[in-house]
Amino acid sequence: MFNRLSRRAFARLASAAALAPPALRALAEGTAAQAPAANHIALTFPKGFLWGSATASYQVEGAVNEDGRGPSIWDVFSHTPGKTNDGDTGDVANDHYHLYKQDVALMKDLGLKTYRFSVSWSRVFPQGTGTPNPKGLDFYNRLVDELLAANIQPYCTLFHWDLPQALEDKVGGWQSRETSEAFGVYAGYVAKNLSDRVKHFMTLNEMSSFVDIGYRDGRHAPGLKLPPAGVNQVRHHAVLAHGLAVQAIRANAKPGTKVGLAENAEACAPVIETPDHIAAARKAMREVNAGYLTAVLEGKYTDAYLEHHGANAPKFTAADMKAIGSPIDFVGLNNYTTTWVRAATTPQGYAVVPAPDSYPHMMSPWLRIGPQGLYWAPKFIAEIWGVKEIYITENGASSTDKLTPEGQVYDTDRVMYLRNYLTQLHRAVAEGVPVKGYFVWSFMDNYEWADGYAYRFGIHYVDFKTQKRTPKLSAHFYKEVISRNGVA
Ligand code: FCB
């Protein structure tokens, strides 16, 4: 009944539009110059808000055998039959290693204030440890110089999942604390060499992704399915690596260098904005992230976390926890989805609500749309831990982008997604939550890990045969956002 009625109403509206006077029609078609309504509220961000975009080494660089780079676990994994969609690898990817100048020019054209890239550990230390390879670091020197010449601030991630294969072979990768220690040395070395020009470093990208998907579920490199105790120990080595890297960066970088991480903490949000659900979501924010962000910001595992894992809990020392809790300058939050939480009369006081089957998502099935996470997560992070500087280090969406015969990509779904998330972010910033910048994922379509090239996240379309980049509608939207410093 509802369906029939609304269809009839739609037909009525459509014929009315066809009969409408020219001025109205122009308005509907977007061709009339419109003055904003008197009561229009512009969703403007604070002056100096840093609009950025992000990529990661293995996803864009290619050039896997050049200038002395050693293999990473993603080279080996992606070349193992059956592990990635269509057997796709990052061998060439966006060939950004060679095309970086052209890419930086595109960034400049977009008006980017900042760009977040990651360093490939095995370019710099082909064996993970030992003698560094100066040619590997040189690429990042060139990239940083090019960015600065374009007036774009470089934000550098030290680990975005491409662990040197040598460490996986020698010590079992993140199963060993030797990898955490090696990461500290590598992080200190990169910071020593880049911090004359790079002022913000992020240690690890999304610990929960590379630990849980790589070492528990086996769907990402190195493709292991460890039992719970093993996974918890890997998780501990990840947070330990973060802490050791913070210390090494402090010891080696130029004064004034800022250190943080880029973590995909679950963004807990109340199912309804009432005091009881909000209190429940705040509690959940701390507990569901206990193995990662909470450990880093508190230098301890919560009692509930240790109790929950019981005999499988990680083995650690007081010195480990001290390193893990090393003070950081900012929190980077990667956010795509929202974890909906309700109040519950259980001892824990909250319940995570599973998504109904009909919940809307973007092309990637995991990417359930929930813009409110971008309001609540930074707000809770500031409230619970008193964090003074927050960045949204990733946010974006996959879409079934298609080039029109005229060579355009009208990704209206991605634009809708971004507009809604930015509106929620604006709400946080307007309340004084200290979010200083936002990085859209991603600057261009790239190698989406086990999903290969089929899932496009870029605001620039990439033809992987010709390496041609085309700005999508979302790039035009983002350019407008940047130029007006507000939601467009
Ligand atoms: C994040 C990753 C990033 C990219 C996006 C879509 O989890 O950090 O590399 O794959 O998802």
**Phi, psi (degrees; rounded to nearest 5) at 486:** -170, 170
How many whole angstroms separate alpha carbon 31 and alpha carbon 38? Answer: 20
Closest-lying ligand 1 atom to the alpha carbon of residue 396: 6
How many whole angstroms separate alpha carbon 473 and alpha carbon 176? Answer: 45
Closest-lying ligand 1 atom to the alpha carbon of residue 56: 9
The CA 343 to ligand 1 mean position distance, Å, reads: 30
Average pLDDT of 451-475?
Answer: 98
Q: Which of 146, 206, 266, 448 is catalytic?
A: 206
Give me 254's structure tokens.
Answer: 């130029």
Q: List the beta bridge partners of residue 118.
A: 157
pLDDT of 346 reads 97
pLDDT of 37 reads 78
Does residue 183 line the site of ligand 1, with CB under 6 A? no
- List helix spans (H) across 53-118: 57-60, 73-78, 96-110
Query: Do residues 122 and 161 lie in contact, with contact meaning Cβ atoms separated by under 8 Å?
Result: no
pLDDT of 20 reads 38
Residue 1 has pLDDT above 70, yes or no: no
Give me 53's structure tokens.
Answer: 């975009």
Residues 37-53 have pLDDT tens digits of 777 788 999 999 999 99
Q: Which of 146, 263, 287, 394 is catalytic?
A: 394
pLDDT of 414 reads 99
Closest CA to ligand 1's atom 10: 448
What percentage of the chain reaches a pLDDT higher than 90? 91
Give me 436's structure tokens.
Answer: 């200083």
178 catalytic, yes or no?
A: no
Does residue 209 line the site of ligand 1, with CB under 6 A? yes
To test the ligand 1 pocket, which listed residue (337, 441, 451, 456) has its Cβ within 8 A of the most ligand atoms? 441
Average pLDDT of 60-71?
Answer: 98
Burial label for 338, CB within 10 Å (0-12, 13-18, 19+), is buried
How many whole angstroms separate alpha carbon 430 and alpha carbon 378? Answer: 12
The CA 479 to ligand 1 mean position distance, Å, reads: 22
What percentage of the chain reaches a pLDDT higher than 70? 93
Average pLDDT of 31-42?
Answer: 68
To test the ligand 1 pocket, which listed residue (157, 394, 417) has its Cβ within 8 A of the most ligand atoms? 394
> Is the pLDDT higher at 40 or at 68?
68
> Is the pLDDT higher at 35 or at 117?
117
Average pLDDT of 429-436?
Answer: 98
Does residue 364 line the site of ligand 1, with CB under 6 A? no
The CA 451 to ligand 1 mean position distance, Å, reads: 11
Residue 7 has pLDDT above 50, yes or no: no
Query: Do residues 255 and 326 lie in contact, with contact meaning Cβ atoms separated by under 8 Å?
Result: no
pLDDT of 39 reads 78
Residue 56 has pLDDT above 70, yes or no: yes
Closest CA to ligand 1's atom 2: 206
Does residue 394 line the site of ligand 1, with CB under 6 A? yes
Give me 347's structure tokens.
Answer: 């001892």
pLDDT of 201 reads 99
Cβ neighbours for 430, distance < 8 A, ≥ 6 positions apart: none
The CA 372 to ligand 1 mean position distance, Å, reads: 19
Give me 308's structure tokens.
Answer: 């929950």
Closest-lying ligand 1 atom to the alpha carbon of residue 457: 6
Cβ neighbours for 405, distance < 8 A, ≥ 6 positions apart: none
Does residue 205 line the site of ligand 1, with CB under 6 A? yes
Query: Do residues 424 and 369 lie in contact, with contact meaning Cβ atoms separated by under 8 Å?
Result: no
Residue 172 has pLDDT above 60, yes or no: yes
Residues 17-27 have pLDDT tens digits of 343 334 433 43
pLDDT of 34 reads 60
Max CA pair span of the chain: 76
Residues 218-258 have pLDDT tens digits of 999 999 999 999 999 999 999 999 999 999 999 999 999 99
Residue type for position 65: N
pLDDT of 304 reads 98
Cβ neighbours for 370, distance < 8 A, ≥ 6 positions apart: 267, 269, 337, 338, 340
Does residue 443 line the site of ligand 1, with CB under 6 A? no
pTM, two decimal places: 0.93
Does residue 326 line the site of ligand 1, with CB under 6 A? no
The CA 399 to ligand 1 mean position distance, Å, reads: 14
Query: Do residues 250 and 195 lie in contact, with contact meaning Cβ atoms separated by under 8 Å?
Result: no
Residue 117 has pLDDT above 50, yes or no: yes
480 catalytic, yes or no?
A: no
Per-residue CA distances from 382 to 64, 203, 282, 334 (Å): 40, 20, 11, 15
Tokens 């971004």 sit on residue: 418
For the ranges 6-20, 320-334, 424-438, the lowest mean pLDDT is seen at 6-20
